[in-house]
Amino acid sequence: MILYYDICAFIILMLVMGSCMLKKMLRGRTNGLFYLVVMTMMFATLGDFWGAYIQNYSEHSILNRNIDYIWQYVYFFAHNMLLPVYLPYIYSNIGLWHEFTRNRVIKIIWYTGMIINNMALIGNLFVHYIFEVNDELVYIRHDGIYIFYATSAFFMILEMGILIKNRRIIRKDKFMVMMSLYPVSMAGIVIQYFFPEHLVEMFTITIATLLFSLIIRRDEELLDPVTGAGKYYVAHEKIKNVLVTEAPVYVLLVKLVNYKNLRLYLGEDLLGEFFRRCSGSFGEYIIDAGVEADMYYLEEGLFVFLSETSDYDRVKKLGVLIRDHFIDTLEFKDFSLMVDARLCILRCPNDIDNFNTLYTFGSNFHTILPAVRDVMNYPDYVNDRDFKIKSELDEIIKRALRQECFELYYQPIYSISEQRFVAAEAFVRLRDEKYGIISPSIFIEAAEKSGDIHEIGDFVLEAVCRFISENDFKGLGLACIEINMSTSQCIEMNLVDKVDRLLQKYGLDPSLINLEITESAVDFDPDVVDANINSLHEMGINFALDDYGTGYSNIKRVTTLPVDIVKLDKTFVDGVDDPQMWIMVKETIKMLKQMGKKVLIEGVEEESVVEKFTHLGADYIQGCEYLQGYYFCRPLPERDFIEFMQEQTGKVAVK
């Protein structure tokens, strides 16, 4: 009789259990069910080992016979529970727990199988029709044991059917390993059936479990090393399975809005330690809230809690506990931290029915929903217009590109010396069929993130060229139209060829176009930007530096680029009543004029501001050249702009 197989099996199971505990894979229903499977195998292995040991290495006595019976019953009870316990683990592991708990047929089958096995085992206490141990401690099997074989075969077929049915939502490696448990287990059963002296059945099942643990439950792949929460791809798989099966779940989003500031303040190592501490607290809050929830970390300060409960109040309680955790200053090491945490609860698939939309919303909901430090509820805002626009922005932009819903507006630019409008700036607007006019302040940033800004930029370039080429424009007395260039456009490798083709197509003089670039675009990719700007300038196109003073200013870069006009941002205008700020404004203008640049003031809304900049005087090299803002005119649609300019022809706009 070989007992070493059972000894090896028990040692391996102890190592698997110990490994899970050391890696702190303790929380959650799936982990709990896995431990239950392993514990059941350990009891079955112990029963198998001690039963065989007593039979082969103990004296023949009534006491030893009774002890052997006890261990045989432990073995059969645990062995018969293996597949029934494994069934709910399968459902939990592949994200179909709701199906197990709500499918009456499955539950009836599950309970029936266990009842049959246990009732048969109890019956063997009175009539030995399954097994017996005689006075010589010889173990004897009877035909009743086929009851256990039949129920085991039934559970195997049922579980393999469930896996095959749902294989499209299971990772291939997971599917293959979970399926391999059955042929490996069957091989052990067959070997031990024909060679009962070789106790290999529990050993083969254990090897299959070890393989499963090594491949499917690898901590380094499942858990984020920084936070200890589930990784992005694990969340993706779990949520995808939930949404495919339309399982109703609650999702709690926790976004640490000032994540980048925390990283800059603490550094990567301390931030990781801080996040691990937060994750530990979150785990305690899950227990305190009495809710079953899986925790994931999706990068950039976004935690996601997924709960298959139908109890909203418990999920809300979890959110409140996490909110309260961050509501006051946190003491961490030698630092005092203020963490801006925003929370939102939503229901899937009712509110959001795909992972990409959920991830996009989770990354941006703090900009979409009101900036309040409370646990927000998605359905409370779903009918708000701004919320709908922001949450559907990517699709709105793509729809606008397909249906050509972008329009150009124009705002005139006033020349102080000529006392008339001499140019205009083009602004793009989005007119959506569902939501009407959408401001560029909303859709431009989203377009830059998605890459759609290139197509929008192409539309603006061509629309302006077309407008300049038409007869209506020629009678407006404008020297040029200014076009804003995004950072993405400035680094396009084919930008020069694109602009040249448009000039050729519409037969335009390059000087009729003035391209506006920002300080951030200038420094984004200096080599490519310099090459594009210099090539376009050599073609005869003029450049303006837009929003000067709003960000980091590399004066050397400004002086080396062929920028003709520098546009001072509205922040300069807003501070002209402050004596200290007015000194800074005047000195900035003086510096730019000494560098040979023309100056345009943006955001002019009041007559007093116009007068102030108009009369700067000779000390500032006659002050600035151009003014632009609502005082003169708001941006107008093309036809309205033409009519406005025609009315202004021959008039002096400012006395």
Q: Which CATH number does the domain housing residue 566 bear?
A: 3.20.20.450
Same-domain pairing of 524 and 385: no
| Calpha distance 417→641 (Å, rounded) | 22
Q: What would the mean pLDDT of 572-601 be, rounded to a whole number?
A: 85
Residue where a domain terminates, one of 220, 254, 288: 220
| Burial zone of 47 (CB within 10 Å; 0-12 exposed, 13-18 middle, 19+ buried) | buried
H/E stretch holding 277 reads helix 268-289
Which pLDDT belongs to residue 512? 94
Same-domain pairing of 275 and 307: yes
CATH number of the domain that residue 135 is part of: 1.20.1070.10
Which among 482, 535, 532 is positioned nearest to 511, based on CA atoms?
482
Residue where a domain terminates, one of 337, 362, 389: 389
Residue where a domain terminates, one of 389, 406, 441: 389
Same-domain pairing of 363 and 508: no
Give the chain's domain count: 3
Same-domain pairing of 263 and 214: no
Give the pLDDT band (50/70/90) at residue 25. Answer: low
**AA identity, residue 104:** R
Which pLDDT belongs to residue 291? 87
- For residue 216, pLDDT over 70 is answered with no
Which residues have CB under 8 Å from 257's CB, separation 6+?
301, 340, 341, 342, 366
Q: What HEC string does 333-388 produce?
A: CCEEECCCEEEEEEEECCCCCCHHHHHHHHHHHHHHCCCCCCEEEHHHHCCCHHHH
**AA identity, residue 348:** C
Give the pLDDT band (50/70/90) at residue 5. Answer: confident
CB 204 within 8 A of CB 187: yes
The pLDDT tens digits of the residues spanning 221-270 come to: 567 767 778 777 777 777 777 777 777 789 999 999 998 899 888 888 89
Q: What is the DSSP string of 398-436?
A: HHHHHHT-EEEEEEEEEETTTTEEEEEEEEEEEEETTTE
Q: Strand ranges (DSSP E) for 188-307? A: 249-256, 294-297, 302-307
CB 187 within 8 A of CB 194: no
Q: What would the mean pLDDT of 278-293 be, rounded to a whole number?
A: 88
Which pLDDT belongs to residue 218? 54
- For residue 171, pLDDT over 80 is answered with no
| Calpha distance 6→74 (Å, rounded) | 15
Same-domain pairing of 198 and 255: no
**Residue 653 lies inside a defined structural domain of this protein:** no
Q: What would the mean pLDDT of 154-183 be, rounded to a whole number?
A: 84
Integer-rounded Cα radius of gyration of the chain: 37
**Residue 206 lies inside a defined structural domain of this protein:** yes
Q: How many CB atoms lie within 10 A of CB 14?
A: 12
Give the pLDDT band (50/70/90) at residue 220. Answer: very low
| Calpha distance 614→85 (Å, rounded) | 84
**Residue 655 lies inside a defined structural domain of this protein:** no
Which pLDDT belongs to residue 423? 94
Q: What percent of the chain shows pLDDT beyond 70?
A: 92
**AA identity, residue 483:** I
Which pLDDT belongs to residue 652? 44
CB 225 within 8 A of CB 292: no
- For residue 653, pLDDT over 50 is answered with no
The pLDDT tens digits of the residues spanning 464-479 come to: 999 999 988 888 989 9
| Calpha distance 644→375 (Å, rounded) | 49
For residues 182 and 621, which has the higher predicted lDDT (pLDDT)?
182
Same-domain pairing of 203 and 298: no
Q: Strand ranges (DSSP E) for 512-562? A: 513-518, 542-548
Q: What would the mean pLDDT of 300-305 be, rounded to a whole number?
A: 90
Q: What is the pTM of this model?
A: 0.59
- For β-strands 598-601 and 626-627, DSSP reports them as parallel
Instruction: Give the domain range for residue 201.
Output: 4-220
The pLDDT tens digits of the residues spanning 593-636 come to: 888 889 999 999 988 888 888 877 544 556 789 999 999 999 99
- For residue 1, pLDDT over 60 is answered with no
Cα distances (Å, whole numbers) of residue 211 to 177, 180, 220, 262: 7, 9, 16, 40
| Calpha distance 590→620 (Å, rounded) | 5
Same-domain pairing of 124 and 257: no
Lowest-confidence pick of 36-40, 367-371, 455-459: 367-371
Same-domain pairing of 378 and 452: no
Q: What would the mean pLDDT of 50-59 be, rounded to a whole number?
A: 87
Q: Which two tokens stand for residue 32?
A: 């709990």
- For residue 370, pLDDT over 80 is answered with no
Which among 33, 31, 147, 161 is positioned nearest to 105, based on CA atoms?
161
Same-domain pairing of 184 and 294: no
CATH number of the domain that residue 383 is part of: 3.30.70.270
**Residue 300 lies inside a defined structural domain of this protein:** yes
Which pLDDT belongs to residue 617? 57
- For residue 117, pLDDT over 60 is answered with yes
Q: What percent of the chain shows pLDDT beyond 90?
A: 33
Q: Which two tokens stand for residue 11?
A: 């040692």
**Residue 654 lies inside a defined structural domain of this protein:** no
The pLDDT tens digits of the residues spanning 524-574 come to: 667 788 889 899 999 999 999 887 766 555 566 667 778 889 998 888 888
Which pLDDT belongs to residue 523? 65
Same-domain pairing of 415 and 563: yes
Lowest-confidence pick of 1-15, 129-143, 260-274, 319-333: 1-15
Same-domain pairing of 276 and 309: yes
Same-domain pairing of 330 and 434: no
Go through the chain and tell me how many residues it has: 655
